[in-house]
């Protein structure tokens, strides 16, 4: 019913992705996304150990027989998590789709590919998408300035980034950042993407594990209620605007702040605590500008079905009608 290079490559019904989200990408949400015909990803590093990840994958497999994946975010660290063990847990679980993000996934690709796993790499610039294709990933997820989390330092929104990337790669491409409804799905496909990734929108569904008070805050927030923090450290992050984010921005505006100066405000598990305790002002938590387009807390299936039917209506009525001479004459 909805066929793009993405749905064909990954064997899912709809070109809609729920990519990795720290402290959000648990089995219940991912299984609900799979059962709705879209593609969800469990977030590996949200699980404290590779064994816990294996259990979370098993839990998801018990909740759905449709495809889902695991996100493995690679960040430089003096004391990195055991990436190889997380990778082994994914391979041994039988999961066949991995989303990589953060840094170059090259060292993980041979073993993933040997085990028949397809890789979606998330990136924030044309040059990184071109590089990802060249090292053999199966799909790029290109993330624009609008997004929650890490948009990079180039500040290029999807309207530009999606077609610029489409001109340079030939593998399937998912557009990420700023998507929440059927209008965005059609826009992304018009711009050259084969589907959309949504983060904030999936956070704000019934099956998402975050506290209902945070979902209600997302509904209240508008497109203006985000802030970009850590720009001065070249590690920009778009987060929900609150007293803590504004304090970070204020400190950064004075210049010269180090990560040590900011650590008490931004690091640790504040996002997890916000999501669990339901206090939107407790600390830093991620949300994208798409908050301005989020007005309810549907089930995942209601959300996916609505996006698909909105997209159908836009393509088959609104856009097709532009050329409909008979309709034009009748109006």
The site for its own copies (CB under 8 A) is made up of 1-4, 126, 144-146, 154, 156-161, 163-164, 166-167, 177-179, 181, 183-184, 186-192, 222-224, 254-255, 289-290, 292-293, 312, 314-316, 318-325, 327-328
Is the Cβ of residue 40 or residue 178 nearer to its own copies in the bound state? 178
Least distance (Å) between residue 91 CB and its own copies: 31
Least distance (Å) between residue 41 CB and its own copies: 22
Is the Cβ of residue 44 or residue 308 nearer to its own copies in the bound state? 308
Nearest to 12 by CA among 28, 45, 34: 34
Cα–Cα distance for residue pair 269/45, rounded to 1 Å: 12
Least distance (Å) between residue 331 CB and its own copies: 8
Least distance (Å) between residue 241 CB and its own copies: 12
Least distance (Å) between residue 315 CB and its own copies: 5
Least distance (Å) between residue 65 CB and its own copies: 23
Cα–Cα distance for residue pair 174/188, rounded to 1 Å: 8
Q: Is the backbone of residue 178 left (phi > 0), alpha (psi -120 to 50) or beta?
A: left
Is the Cβ of residue 82 or residue 321 nearer to its own copies in the bound state? 321
Least distance (Å) between residue 138 CB and its own copies: 18
Cα–Cα distance for residue pair 147/125, rounded to 1 Å: 13
Query: DSSP string of 296-313?
Result: ----HHHHHHHHHHHHHH
Cα–Cα distance for residue pair 7/4, rounded to 1 Å: 5
Contact 210, 43 (CB under 8 A): no
Is the Cβ of residue 51 or residue 154 nearer to its own copies in the bound state? 154
Cα–Cα distance for residue pair 182/13, rounded to 1 Å: 15
Contact 112, 86 (CB under 8 A): no
Is the Cβ of residue 72 or residue 203 nearer to its own copies in the bound state? 203
Paired residues of 139 in beta bridges: 120
Nearest to 118 by CA among 55, 44, 194, 171: 171
Is the Cβ of residue 139 or residue 191 nearer to its own copies in the bound state? 191
Is the Cβ of residue 159 or residue 209 nearer to its own copies in the bound state? 159
Contact 299, 32 (CB under 8 A): yes
């Amino acid at each position: 019913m909805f066929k793009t290079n993405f749905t064909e490559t990954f064997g899912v019904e709809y070109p809609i992705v729920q990519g990795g989200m720290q402290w959000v990408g648990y089995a219940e949400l991912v299984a609900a996304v799979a059962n709705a015909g879209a593609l969800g990803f469990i977030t590996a590093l949200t699980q404290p150990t590779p064994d816990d990840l294996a259990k979370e994958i098993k839990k998801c497999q018990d909740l759905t027989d449709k495809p889902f994946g695991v996100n493995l975010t690679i960040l430089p660290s003096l004391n990195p998590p055991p990436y190889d063990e997380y990778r082994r847990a994914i391979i041994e679980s039988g999961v066949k789709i991995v989303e990589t993000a953060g840094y170059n996934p090259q060292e993980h690709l041979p073993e993933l590919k040997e085990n028949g796993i397809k890789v979606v790499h998330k990136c924030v610039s044309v040059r990184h998408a071109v590089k990802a294709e060249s090292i053999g990933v199966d799909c790029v997820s290109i993330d624009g300035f609008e997004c929650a989390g890490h948009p990079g330092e180039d500040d290029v929104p999807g309207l530009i980034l999606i077609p610029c990337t489409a001109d340079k790669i030939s593998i399937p491409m998912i557009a990420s950042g700023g998507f929440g409804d059927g209008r965005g799905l059609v826009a992304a496909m018009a711009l050259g993407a084969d589907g959309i990734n949504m983060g904030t929108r999936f956070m704000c569904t019934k099956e998402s594990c975050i506290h209902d008070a945070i979902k209600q805050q997302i509904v209240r927030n508008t497109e203006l209620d985000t802030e970009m923090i850590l720009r001065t450290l070249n590690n920009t992050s778009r987060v929900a605007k609150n007293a803590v984010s504004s304090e970070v921005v204020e400190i950064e505006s004075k210049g010269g702040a180090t990560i040590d100066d900011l650590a008490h405000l931004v690091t640790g598990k504040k996002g997890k605590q916000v999501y669990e305790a339901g206090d939107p002002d407790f600390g830093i938590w991620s949300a994208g500008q798409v908050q301005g387009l989020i007005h309810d807390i549907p089930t995942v299936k209601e959300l996916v079905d609505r996006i698909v039917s909105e997209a159908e209506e836009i393509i088959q009525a609104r856009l097709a009608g532009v050329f409909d001479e008979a309709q034009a004459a009748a109006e």
